[in-house]
Structure 1
Amino acid sequence: ALERAPHTPVRELDILPGAERAYLLEELNRTAAAYPSEQCIHELFEAQVAKAPEAVAVVCAEERVSYGELNARANRLAHYL
């Protein structure tokens, strides 16, 4: 592709075969899962907190926040509001 259009930006080149591109962009991104619709999101979150409070819930730059800490921060905010 680069030989046919040498001035094409690299980001616009098709470097993967179609099947591999579809697999990477579509198949690996199929993350649909059954959602327990009888519970509210805050109930599901608190169940996760109870199950694994030390597990990492959020990563932002160099900061990692566990489910337990995130729940504590959310509760502080809720009480403040």
Structure 2
Amino acid sequence: ARANERCIHELFEAQVRRAPEAVALVHENERLSYGELNARANRLAHHLVGRGVRPDQPVWSCVERSAAMVVGLLAIL
């Protein structure tokens, strides 16, 4: 599928494969590479699945603007 036909999390995963060491996120004093951000999001996603969250099930997130917010959004997607 072309880039404009893919979801944001699919585009993110493609970027992780292309440049895992590249800086993906900077928030205040925290910098995460694509690989680090992906690893954190995957850990949270697995935790959510372990808690019973299933595909297409709504998940609520309430977090201040931070690296954790981005991790949470990617994990939910």
Identify the residue that residue 55 of structure 1 maps to in structure 2: 22
Query: Is it true that 1:71 corresponds to 2:6 in the alignment?
Result: no
Aligned length: 47
Give the match's secondary structure for 1:64: strand
SS of match in other structure, 2:31: strand
**How far, CA to CA, are the matches of 1:61 and 1:48 in structure 2?**
23
Inter-partner Cα distance in structure 2 for 1:63 and 1:38:
31
In the alignment, the residues of structure 2 paired with residue 48 and residue 36 of structure 1 have an alpha-carbon distance, to the nearest angstrom, of: 11
CA-atom RMSD, angstroms?
A: 1.4
Counterparts of 1:1-81 in structure 2, within 5 Å, are: 36-81=3-48
Identity across aligned pairs (percent)? 74
State the Cα distance separating 1:57 from its structure 2 match. 0.6
TM-score of the two chains, using structure 2 as the length reference = 0.56
More helix by share: 2
Structure 2 spans left out of the alignment, 5+ residues: 49-77
Dislocated runs of 4+, deviation >3 Å: none
